[in-house]
A and B are shown apart, each in its own frame.
Chain A
Amino acid sequence: MTIGLAENGSAGETATQDCECPELSRDFYLHFEKPTPLSHRGKQKQVYRAIWKPIQREVIVKYHKDENRTALTELEMVAHPLSLSHPNVVETYVVGSAPQVFLVEREVTPLHNGWVLHGMDEAVTLLCHIARALSFLQRKSYIHADIKPENLGLDRERFILMDFGVCKKLDKFDPARDEAGTVRTRAPEVLAKSSPRSHQSDLWSLGASMFRLFTQRFPLVLDGEEVPLDKEDHAASDRVREMIRQRAKDENLWRTDFWRHDCWSKVPPRLEPLIRKMLARDPGERIDSEGVVRYCEEEFAPYLLEDLPAAPVMLASQKEMLSVLRALRAGKAGVGFKPNLRNLPLLTRQRHAQWLSELLLLNHLSADNRTFIQQQLQELKEGQQP
């Protein structure tokens, strides 16, 4: 039984759910509750969505299955850059003590594989924000090595770089063995193993991701070709991977097919020169992240969303959530705030959708409020249809 959220924020009884994750340790349940697994079970690294008890909000939790392993080693590699926070890097916290530590991340809406960029506002803001994150990593001598649309997220009009699972210091990558990250956005010199990973290879991946978000194809993947997904391990995928590697080495193909492809017409003309500089075959000719940031700030200032409030608090208080809900209710009744959801700017629509989604995560929400919020979310989704 649930009771609707009262005006003063107090809540009544809630139904409890049985935990379906017996593999989780007691340590896990000290800090978290109501876990939902997100990754394939059996892998070394486990990923769950769970409620973080001290703040009663859902977060993403990552940890190593093997308790005997000194998880700190990985976390040193992974969490270190993240512990120095940057507004465009996913908010991360380390919870627990050795040997079982948990990596807690704020859940951010990822740009799914079919995401299409609509308009310069969104494109420039995304490009500049992620380039700033990469510039931050570069200053710390880290390479992300897995930039792809799914690892870019949106959190209230701020674009976020996520998933530092293969992130390492520059000198830790072994070009002979390194197969980390997706082949779809891997830089040509890394595919051809002619150069080690570098900051420039991250820039190529970002450029490839932007290309994908405009054109719905990856630069070195042909139309209709089945893209090997990271988690699959099929022989067919190996064959496609090899073909992509060969393309990366083929200079003629590069000049003709890729550089002159019709898809470029889907990239906004004003952004095309910058994206091409990011996708230069020779890493030495590629623009760097600082260059991308400067370019966006100087040439595309009218489109670049800035002046955001200070980095958002991890989770809003219940009182704040109530005031949002009250405002939305008043709007629906035609009083006060009347959002014309279909005409909202794209980024504002996403911000509203995030607020609404966060409201749904509240534990003690009445059925009536829940229905109302779901209707609003549906209207927002419909408003996104072209």
Chain B
Amino acid sequence: MSKRRLERVQDAVHGLMKFRGMETAVIRLLETRELQRLRRISQLGLASLVYPGAEHSRHAHSLGTAYLAIRFGRQLQDAAVEFLPPLMHPGPVEIRDLAIAALCHDLGHGPFSHTWEDQCIGKRDFDSKRDQWAEQFGMNSEDCKELKWHEIVGRGLLLWPGGDLHNRLKEHDESMPRRIQALLGGGYHVPYLSRLLSSDIDVDRGDFLLRDAIQCGVSYGRYDLEWLLSCVTLGYYNDNVVIGFDLSKSRRVIEEFALAHRAHYETVYFHHTVKSAELMLGLFFKRLKWLARERREDLERRFPRHASIITIAAGDVLGPEQVLELDDVLLWSFLSEVAKTPREPDDILCDLAWRLLQRNLFKAIELPRAESSLPLPTNEMLVEQGLRLVSPRTGRKLTREEFREYYLCPFNQDRDILSTKDHDCGFFIDTTRPDRPAIMIQRDREFRALRTMSITTSRIYVPREVRDEAKKILSSRRTAE
């Protein structure tokens, strides 16, 4: 037996991660610019403002996900041999591809991860520019219709001929970048492997639930990973081979996983203070976009080192080289530059930046679900109080419109625990039957409750100075109604 090369990495979540032979390609790819950039992008965005330990990077998460992909892949090799013909077995090349795809699945994230995409890029703005972004990254618009910004950017970076990552993948063989893209987006020659990268129970969630829980210091995200690994297998759903979990052995661990997922969202991702910071960043960018439309050249002159941020705010798209500049460091330094002078370029912009830097965050007032769909309180008393108590550091009096636009923020979000779509749902596999049927987890009797369980949050965020008055006004409004 030949002695295969071994690379070892110590990790807070998985302990000693070992990569053998072809799997060491993962370690080699870490040296590329595209993946080194992920060291400078926080996994949990602004959650470190609430959980001081939550400063781990996308880089650590990506490496952990790649390691999990290898472990799941090896289990599937054993499962495939039992009942699939050799053509459909995941071989060493396929396992390596899977690990690399897992490593690259978050390649396109911007500063502060989802916060950037939700608050800075913005869904509506992005939808209007989707084709331009796709073109800039050499992607086909048709293929990008359902993709988010970070997915287009990530897959574009894989195919970018000028990129380190692309060229290093091509060293293996010419088709490798396209194969990795196919694994992420569908069309891989062993099609069932893609579900390991994106589904209710996938390697991405498998890593971040544990990692975020450990780093934040919360107990909710834990589940029995080793048992979950031992239950992974293959079955048939509508004549397609799918990845799933042994029905007779995995019910409890799947339940544990789903509940951990829910608890994590409630306590960490949707934490009211975390959301406050994210929404304030969104307000900052809202103001920046308005300014960029009015005074782009002025902004570019004032902030030459942050040209890429100004370009996006102005509604233009970036190329791959410029996207590689985008990281948390750039955004924090931009906030810092803006906050320096209270009057220029804009006092509201400066105020919002200053509040973020000082952790002077807006406060949340929980609204009953029934109120979440109502228009923002137009109660003149709330606005009057706001105008009286809130002003930028210049001392200028805000207008009513400015207060409503930049100092009042509703938040309303639903999230389902289990997917309702075939292409990314999780499966149980009945291994006692020769036809190995797969059953969607959410259709299982015991798990129907999980299917309908969703996290619903409705709040309104106001500056700290206004909180007490706002509470009084909102509760008196409810009483009157």
Please list the residues of chain A having a beta carbon within 8 angstroms of any beta carbon in chain B: 118-122, 132, 157, 268, 270, 293, 297-298, 301-308, 320, 323-324, 326-328, 330, 335-348, 352, 355, 386
Contact = CB atoms under 8 A, between A and B. Distances in A.
Contacts of B87: 324, 327-328, 337, 339, 352, 355
A337 B191 CA distance: 7
Contacts of A307: 21-22, 92
B5 interface: yes
Interface string B149-182: 0000000000000000000001111111011001
B85 A305 contact: no
Given A301-B5, A324-B85, A336 B241 contact: yes
A328 B22 CA distance: 27
Interface in B1-60: 2-5, 20-25, 28
Contacts of B174: 118-119, 346, 386
Contacts of B91: 157, 308, 348
A340 B182 CA distance: 9
B21 A301 contact: yes
A348 B189 contact: yes
A320 B29 CA distance: 38
B12 to A, nearest CB: 25
Interface of B: 2-5, 20-25, 28, 84-88, 91-94, 96-97, 170-176, 178-179, 182, 187-191, 236, 239-241
Interface centre among A157, A302, A306 (most CB of B within 10 A): A302
B21 A306 contact: yes
A282 to B, nearest CB: 29
Given A120-B172, A305-B92, A308-B92, A343 B182 contact: yes
B2 A119 contact: no
Contacts of A119: 170-174, 176
Contacts of B179: 343-345
Contact of B241 (A306, A337, A352): A337
A263 B22 CA distance: 29
A368 to B, nearest CB: 19
A121 B2 CA distance: 17
A337 B88 contact: yes
B21 A346 contact: no
B7 to A, nearest CB: 8
19 contacts: A119-B170, A132-B2, A297-B5, A301-B5, A301-B24, A305-B93, A307-B21, A307-B92, A323-B85, A326-B85, A327-B85, A328-B87, A335-B239, A336-B239, A336-B240, A339-B87, A339-B189, A343-B188, A346-B174
A345 B93 contact: yes
Contacts of A348: 91, 93-94, 189
B308 to A, nearest CB: 32
A114 to B, nearest CB: 18
A304 B172 CA distance: 10
Contacts of A352: 87
Contacts of B24: 301-302
A16 B23 CA distance: 50
B22 A303 contact: yes
Contact of A345 (B21, B176, B187): B176
